[in-house]
Copies of this chain bind each other. A is one copy, B any other.
Amino acid sequence: MDREKQLRDFLLKGDKTYMPRVSVDCVIFGFHEDQLKVLLLRWKDGRWCLPGGFVKWDESVDDSAVRTLQERTALNNIYLQQFHTFGAPDRERGKKLKGIPDSKKSWMHDRFVSIGYYALVEFSKVNPIPDWLSDACHWWDLHKVPALIYDHNEMVEKALEKLRLSLNDHPVGYNLLQEKFTMPELQRLYETILDKRLDRRNFQKKMLSLGILERLKERKTGGAHKAPFLYRFDKKKYERAMKQGLKLGF
Contact of A113 with B by CB under 8 A? yes
* Cβ–Cβ contact A60 & B87, under 8 A: yes
Give the CA-CA distance A20 to B111 in the complex, in Å: 10
Q: How many residues of A contact B (CB 8 A)?
A: 28
In the assembled complex, which residues on chain B have CB atoms less than 8 Å from the CB atom of A55?
87, 113
24 A-B contacts (beta carbon < 8 Å): A19-B21, A19-B111, A19-B113, A20-B20, A21-B21, A22-B113, A55-B87, A55-B113, A57-B110, A59-B89, A61-B87, A61-B88, A61-B113, A62-B87, A64-B87, A82-B84, A82-B85, A87-B115, A113-B113, A113-B115, A168-B168, A168-B169, A247-B249, A249-B249
What residues make up the interface of A, taking CB atoms closer than 8 Å to B? 19-22, 55, 57-62, 64, 82, 84-89, 110-111, 113, 115, 165, 168-169, 247, 249
Please give 4 more A-B residue pairs, beta carbons under 8 A apart, in addition to A61-B113, A85-B85: A60-B87, A60-B89, A61-B87, A87-B115
